[in-house]
Amino acid sequence: MLLEIPGVLTPEQVQRFRARLDAARWIDGNVTSGHQSAKAKYNEQIPEESAEARELGDEIIEALSRSQLFMSAAVPKQVFPPLFNRYKEGMTFGSHVDSAIRSHGPTRVRIRTDISATIFLAAPEEYDGGELLIEDTYGVQKVKLAAGSMVLYPATSLHRVEPITRGTRIASFFWIQSLVREDAQRALLFDLDMAIIRLTKANPGDPALVSLTGVYHNLLRMWTEV
């Protein structure tokens, strides 16, 4: 399931993030690359042990906890501490699949990567190129979102970042280990949860809500890996 979630960060948060990141130290992005990715990756990152990465990452985690869409779509067990990357003119990241297991040195967090996430921190008009291209069942999906918005997609997906031809693309990226490992099961749970929410708003007294909510939780109970 590929899902865009608008406004995870407010415009004020984005502005503050950008000020911190603009003043931060950037290093070669291959510091966190796996063997396959290192051959295709040409970008910069904030060191994962830096104060900026830690403090801004904590703020992202807090924002995610307030997002109903994120919680429903990801059913998160653990979120990898967010990282930050930058693509200047000529930089790119060729086709690759994210590593199945990610370890974070400073915190010793180690997760199975079920879901990949990108939060855009630069507005689309600030740069040309830089689209995130994700291959899914329906072909290649091109993603370039407003600053503060996020895209979620299966970590098993082949994806790439197109070369930058003007400006600078800045983003946060991270992974989620879900309580529900299978993407198809998460998609069914998400659709059911959204239907329950719509029905609750339209007809809060409908007795079908009790039955549908029971089905949701019984499926979650069946598929959850704690």
Instruction: Detail the DSSP E strand segments found in 139-226.
Output: 139-143, 150-154, 159-161, 164-167, 169-178
Residue 110 is assigned to a ligand binding site:
no
Residue 169 is assigned to a ligand binding site:
yes
Residue 217 is assigned to a ligand binding site:
no
Residue 104 is assigned to a ligand binding site:
no
Residue 45 is given by DSSP the state E
Q: Which run of H or of E encompasses 218?
A: helix 208-223
User: Which residues are annotated binding-site positions?
Assistant: 96, 98, 159, 169
Residue list for the binding site for Fe cation: 96, 98, 159
Instruction: Report the binding-site residues for 2-oxoglutarate.
Output: 169
